[in-house]
């Protein structure tokens, strides 16, 4: 017989997918699907590090503040290995760790 969970509780298997307090990096996260992923993760309680190649974050980027968690924008080109490596090092320093991509 399957074990049931109390009403309002999170089944143990779903706890593996919780992102509350975790730092997630989203490449291309300044617009389109990347921004939608960033916003959804922020609403779920994640801290978001957005990597995009635009010089500055778009004006609507502050919507992530309303969603929750910490967020920061990093300008980088993912095809530039050395530049991307330096960006990842900055993210690790700023957030302490990276828990997902």
The secondary structure element, H or E, covering residue 83 is: helix 81-95
Percent of the chain with pLDDT over 90: 68
Topology adopted by domain 19-95: Rossmann fold (3.40.50)
Q: In the prediction, which pLDDT does 4 show?
A: 66
Q: Tell me what percent of the chain is helix, strand and coil, each rounded to the nearest 5.
A: 40, 15, 45
Give residue 50's pLDDT band: very low, low, confident or very high (50, 70, 90).
Answer: very high
pLDDT exceeds cutoff 60 at 2: no
- Average pLDDT of the residues in 57-69: 87
């Amino acid at each position: 017989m399957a074990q049931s969970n109390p009403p309002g509780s999170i089944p143990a298997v779903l706890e593996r997918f919780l992102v509350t307090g975790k730092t997630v990096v989203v490449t291309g996260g300044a617009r389109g699907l990347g921004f939608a992923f960033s916003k959804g993760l922020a609403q779920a309680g994640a801290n978001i590090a957005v990597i995009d190649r635009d010089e500055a974050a778009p004006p609507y980027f502050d919507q992530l503040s309303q969603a929750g968690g910490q967020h920061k924008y990093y300008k980088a080109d993912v095809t530039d290995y050395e530049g991307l490596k330096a960006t990842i090092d900055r993210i690790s320093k700023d957030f302490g760790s990276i828990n997902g991509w």
